[in-house]
Structure 1
């Protein structure tokens, strides 16, 4: 579904991503591990059309992403749930969710069908639907952020640090929902520092360090890799 070949992304004179080669097959849940500053968000912003690559190839379902605008990429089926949630705090939960449906906002029937799906997936949001998004707990805000991305009906969902700042119990709930989203047919590329939680729901993963993909493998291989355990999981 997704192919990156020799991807280089530069900020000024510095290469932030260096010859990245990555593939995601349709139906997979792939995790991208890496510390802060490793280049995970830059990679996602490049896939979303917010950052232009210096060189290399990016293709989605056999078609090049080069030159595609962010809105065209969303219409193609790549949708990002950004790090930090990026909600409209003063707007209601319901209106935040509707913002994700901009590609079909005049199709009221489809809009209501997708809203029903999101509220079924996140029942905690039903009673909060008219509350300002900024008034919700961190976990509920993350539900709104993921729900808004799902409103765009993604084929490939990019999740950037969805567990950031959440309590352990909420993290467990969040990853359970992400696994369910994947089971329902949405391919997921998940950027995370919480390696153990991410690998527990993934099919395989990559490790991004200093802008390079240094390690890749199945979740079992990554969990058993001593260096990865020390760096991301602990003894």
Structure 2
């Protein structure tokens, strides 16, 4: 579904990621591991069209998308759920969800079905549909951010640090929700520092250090890699 080959991206003269290669097969959950500043979010921004590649290719369903406008990439089926959620805090939960459906604004039936699915996945969002998004707890805001992304009916969802700042019990619930979304047909590319939780649901992973991928393999291979365990799993 997604092939990234030799991807390099810069902020001005600073090279943030260099010669990154990633492959995501339809139906997979793939995790990007690494510390803050290692290059995971830059990779997402480049896939999403928020940052133009300095070199390399991004192929999505046999189409070159590197450098395309972000709205065109959303229309193709790639939707990003940002690390800091990027909600509209003064708008209601329902209004935030409807913003995610903008790409399908002419298909009222599709929007109604998507809203039903999101409310079934996260019932608390229905209960709080009239509340301001900014009044929600951190876990509820993350649910809303994921729900808004789902309203666009993505083929590939980019989830950037969905567990950050959340209590352990909420993190567990969040990863169960991600597994459910995947089972329902959405391919997931997940950037996470919580390696233990991420690898427990992922098919494979890539480990970033200083803007480069230094290790990649199946989840089982990364779990059994002593250096990965010491650096990211704490065992």
Shorter-chain TM-score: what band?
over 0.9
Aligned with 1:83: secondary structure?
coil
- Structure 2 residue aligned with 1:109: 109
Take 1:137 and 1:93, find their aligned partners in 2: how far apart are those partners? Answer: 12
Cα offset, 1:12, TM superposition: 2.0
Q: How is 1:1-235 mapped onto 2 (pairs within 5 angstroms)?
A: 1-235=1-235
Q: SS at the partner of 1:35? A: coil
Normalising by structure 1, report the TM-score: 0.98
User: Which aligned runs of 4 or more in structure 1 are off by greater than 3 angstroms?
Assistant: none
Q: What is the TM-score when the length of structure 2 is the normalising length? A: 0.98
SS at match of 2:213: strand
> d(CA) in 2 for partners of 1:141 and 1:215?
32
Q: Which is worse superposed, 103-112 or 75-84?
A: 103-112
State the shift of 1:218 in Å: 0.7
Residue aligned with 2:87, SS: coil
Uncovered stretches (5+) of structure 2, i.e. residues with no partner: none
1:112 shift after superposition: 1.0
- Structure 1 residue 176 displacement after superposition: 0.3
Deviates more, 1:18-27 or 1:62-71: 62-71
Give how far 1:66 is off: 2.6
Q: What is the deviation of 1:106?
A: 2.9
Q: Tell me the CA shift for residue 182 of structure 1.
A: 0.5
Query: 1:10 deviation in Å?
Result: 1.4
Structure 2 CA distance for aligned equivalents of residues 30 and 63 of structure 1: 20
How far is the alpha carbon of 1:94 from its aligned partner?
0.4
State the 1:197 CA deviation: 0.3
- How far off its partner does 1:223 sit? 0.8
Between the two proteins, the alignment pairs up a number of residues equal to 235
Distance in 2 between the 1:22 and 1:3 partners?
A: 6
* CA deviation map 1:107-134 (0-9, x unaligned): 2222111100100011111110100000
| Secondary structure, counterpart of 1:126 in structure 2 | helix
SS at match of 2:38: coil
SS at 2:227 equivalent: helix
Contact 2:158 2:189 survives alignment (8 Å): yes
1:71-104 alpha-carbon deviations (Å, 9 max, x no partner): 0000000000000111000100000000001111
